[in-house]
Amino acid sequence: MSEKRKIIIFYAIFLGCLCFSHKSFSQRTQIRGFMDLSAGLQNNKVSFTLGEQDLFITSELSDRFSFLGESVFRFTPSTPTTFSVSIERAIVKYNFLGNHNLLIGKHHTPINYWNDTYHHGRAFFPTIYRPLLFEADIIPLHTTGIGLQGQNLGSLKFGYDLMVGNGLGSDDVLDNDKRKSVTAAVHIKPVEGLRIGFSWYNDLMSAGSKTHEGKLISWDVQQNLISPSVAYFGEKIEVLAESTWALNHTDTTGTKQTFAGYLYAGYKIKERLVPYVRFDRLHFQEGEILFDKNNTTSIVGGLRYHINYLTVVKLEYQYERTELERDINKLTFQIAVGF
Amino acid sequence: MTGHRPHGFTVCRKYLSVLLLLTIGLMTRAQDMPLTAIGNVAGVPSELKLSELIAVLKGEKLRWNDGTKVSIYIMKTNTPIGQNTCKKIYDWSGDKVKRYWLELSFSGKADAPTFCNTVEELESYVSQNPGAIGIVDRSSTSAAVKMILIDGKNPF
């Protein structure tokens, strides 16, 4: 099917949906922002760090259509102003039936709890930094494409996501090959605060394309990611355990396996005060060609205090041991706000 | 000299005691205040279980059974009705309720409620929006608003 024909079909579906969404409606738009600043002590040196500034827009466009946009302004030394703007999410949602939605745009890939729940606003992160699973680019953080989503179905509060999008090596405006990435995720929320999830991601990274970090890939890599996840945020105890088992296959190297995971646990001494720990592990098999093989272990211990629902301070110590670089010992203080 | 306090001090202490008792009384009343669920005449059912009301007010139900979109209106969490709603419906503090909604709405899973300053404002919104549900502390006289029985009771 030609690109032109695909675009015509896409717009026909979009306009069709608009026509079925004809009820009178008063538009409601919210604009919010998030920002964080931190100070870190590492190698006997204190550095102050300006974090990301995250701008959110949500808008109810009609009875069934809504929009969510998330743009981030961040320090980028390679640009003339040393700052850049990126669109992290831009989603048009069509609620076609009950708790079932059709989503079109750029999404956080619904691969696990963290990526599906938290956005770039650090005020909601349970720790200062994302788990290493994210930092090491093991999982595709974003997918530009189309998805079906259901949530809170039945007594177990079953939810699902099925997403097709531009795959690995592509960008937000053009896919680099014919293959689309597929994400299938399910979860249940059997009791208050508990969410158990499982996802499968499949894609082909074509020879000649580049990874998110700019590494040129010379072979076709067939990727499967399997990600179980358990999250419990109760009145006193917080537990979040997620892992991804990555299987990267090429005709020359066969299948290489990577395991990446983390376990976070926190205990609310008071409603606003939470000491916490996190253990991260990245393990790559010999001969891995898609990811940078750098086996890593990290331990984080910290204290989080919620001044109010929009202002959070965290003090965190991290020890990280990697295969290729020197050990990291750092102490970080962060203030994250919403406005 | 030592056993006697000035007359002004005794009067002041009496007033303070009365004021303290009144404050405690008002606080107790705010915590125990009966709540009333109201809904727009279009879409919203006339009776709900408390567990269903809680699910609706947590954004777990996006549409009523007839397909009308659910929209939620609650009093600001710093008002006595808002505080009581947080305690009775969510069993959370006002801050936690606001944080919950901020997280949920910006994850794209549900539309945040409208937090109202006055009962009149809330009733006005509910009366104008099909599928709207709200929590107040009294019956409404508006023809476009109906009372919702919660576990067969209203107020609940």
Torsion sign (Cα): A124, A129, A130, A135: positive
In this structure, are residues A140 and A123 in contact, taking their beta carbons and an 8 Å threshold? no
Q: Does domain A28-338 have CATH number 2.40.160.10?
A: yes
Could you tell me if A120 lies within 8 Å of chain B, comparing CB atoms? Answer: no
Cβ contact, residue pair B102, A309, below 8 Å: yes
Q: What is the pLDDT of residue A95?
A: 97
Cβ contact, residue pair B106, A58, below 8 Å: yes
Backbone angles phi, psi at A44, to 5 degrees: 60, 30
Helix (H), strand (E) at residue B2: none
Q: What is the pLDDT of residue B140?
A: 73
Residue A334: beta bridge partners?
A: A38, A314
Residue B56 has pLDDT above 70, yes or no: yes
Q: Report pLDDT digits (tens) over B107-153.
A: 889 999 999 999 999 999 999 999 999 999 987 777 889 999 999 98
B-chain CB neighbours of A151 within 8 Å are 60, 109
Q: Does domain B33-150 have CATH number 3.90.1150.10?
A: no
Domain locations in chain A? 28-338
SS3 content of chain B, % helix, strand, coil (to 5): 45, 20, 40
Could you tell me if A268 lies within 8 Å of chain B, comparing CB atoms? Answer: no
| Amino acid occupying residue A198 | F
A-chain CB neighbours of B112 within 8 Å are 30, 58
Q: Report pLDDT digits (tens) over A112-163.
A: 999 999 888 899 999 999 999 998 989 999 999 999 999 999 999 999 999 9
Q: What is the pLDDT of residue B144?
A: 84
User: Which stretch of A12-21, A143-152, A278-287 has the lowest confidence by average pLDDT?
Assistant: A12-21
**How far is the alpha carbon of B69 from chain A, nearest alpha carbon, in Å?**
7
Bigger pLDDT: B14 or A277?
A277
Q: Most B CBs within 10 Å: which of A95, A152, A272, A304, as the mutation test of the B interface?
A: A152
* A74-101 CB burial, b ≥16 within 10 A, e <16: eeeeeeeeeeeeeebbbbbbbbeebbbb
Domain locations in chain B? 1-32, 33-150
Bigger pLDDT: A15 or B91?
B91
A-chain CB neighbours of B55 within 8 Å are 152
Helix (H), strand (E) at residue A265: strand A254-267
- Mean pLDDT for all residues in chain B: 86
Q: Report pLDDT digits (tens) over B78-104.
A: 999 999 999 999 999 999 999 999 999
* Rounded-to-integer distance, Cα A124 and Cα A138, Å: 22
Q: What is the pLDDT of residue B4?
A: 53
Percent of chain B with pLDDT over 70: 79
